[in-house]
Amino acid sequence: MTTVLITGCSSGYGLQTARHFHDKGWTVIATMRSPRDGILPASDRLRILPLDITDAGSIAAAIAAAGPIDVLVNNAGIGAAGAFEATPMDHVRKIFATNTFGTMTMVQAVIPQMRARRSGVIVNVTSSSVLAPMPLVAAYTASKEAVEGFTGSLALELGAFGIRAKLVEPGHAPTTQFAANSDVQVSDLIPEAYAGFAAGAFAEYANPALTTTESDVAEAVWRAATDGSDQLRYPAGADAVALAKAV
């Protein structure tokens, strides 16, 4: 039976992705910083483990408890929307600690077992902000662009060992906990000088015809995990698909 470990499963993309893989008959290890009961079905094919991807000890404990992992999905992340001028550098470092270095540390932790078996898939979730320049997400985009370059190189580096590395690029999803996962509020990062510009930018982001659902992302992760081809990128959501076709 195939086993997937997914990070950031307390809500949003991660939660829906865990449900999706479970529905497909996989064994699912859903991880989150603070495990919650009742958000996933009781099943002998599903376990919830505590995991803070910014803590090396927490990662080691989760990997040890999980056992053999066929697919790793790096979904955990924090968002940041606002003027870069007003974004504290301490917060920028937190964004990179989670979105970039947390992902890298998880990957490094699972490579040895996958390499020994000469099989495995690593799926890193980034963002459609890597597909075209977008305002008011400079630090966030930088953290995700780093993962894009990292994953592309990793796909070549690990391919010789039968390990595939993939990218899922979700579009804008106003229903997710993007901003709620941050300890800095959007309103704190919009100085008065940026207010008019930000209002226009956020209105454009809110176009209901071009938004991404949690199910869009779960399905894209599923396709990435089960596709045996060398395809690297899987845009998720109508807006992300449109951007990917335009570049």
Q: What domains does the chain contain, in order, with CATH numbers? A: 3-246 (3.40.50.720)
pLDDT tens across the length of the chain (247 residues): 699 999 999 999 999 999 999 999 999 999 999 998 889 999 999 999 999 999 999 999 999 999 999 999 999 999 889 999 999 999 999 999 999 999 999 999 999 999 999 999 999 999 999 999 999 999 999 999 999 999 999 999 999 999 999 999 999 876 555 555 566 777 788 888 988 988 887 777 667 667 899 999 999 999 999 999 999 999 998 888 988 998 7
Predicted confidence at residue 185, as pLDDT, reads 73
Note the pLDDT of residue 116: 98
Contacts of 111 (CB under 8 A, 6+ apart): 158, 163
Strands, E assignment, the chain: 3-6, 27-32, 46-50, 71-74, 120-125, 163-170, 233-236
**Can you give the pLDDT at residue 179?**
54
CA dist., res. 124 & res. 239, Å (int): 19
Has 234 been annotated as catalytic?
Answer: no
Residue with tokens 């599923």: 222
Hey, CA dihedral for 169, 171, 172, 173, is it positive or negative?
Answer: negative
- How far apart, in whole angstroms, are the C-alpha atoms of residue 78 and residue 144? 11
Per-residue burial over 152-166, b if 16 or more Cβ lie within 10 Å, else e, is: eebbeebeeeebbbb
Q: What is the pTM of this model?
A: 0.93
**Contact in structure between 39 and 237 (CB atoms under 8 Å):** no
pLDDT of residue 237: 87
Tokens representing 109 are 């932790």
Rounded to an integer, what is the distance from CA 167 to the centroid of its chain? Answer: 9
- Kindly report the number of other CB atoms within 10 A of residue 65's CB atom: 13
Provide the 10 A C-beta neighbour count for residue 14.
28
Q: What is the CA radius of gyration of the chain?
A: 18
pLDDT recorded at residue 117: 97
Q: Please give the Cα distance from 87 to 81 (Å, whole number).
A: 9
Q: Which of the residues 13, 140, 205, 234 is marked catalytic?
A: 140
DSSP per-residue codes, 49-92: EE--TT-HHHHHHHHHHH-S-SEEEE-------S-GGGS-HHHH
The pLDDT value given to residue 180: 54
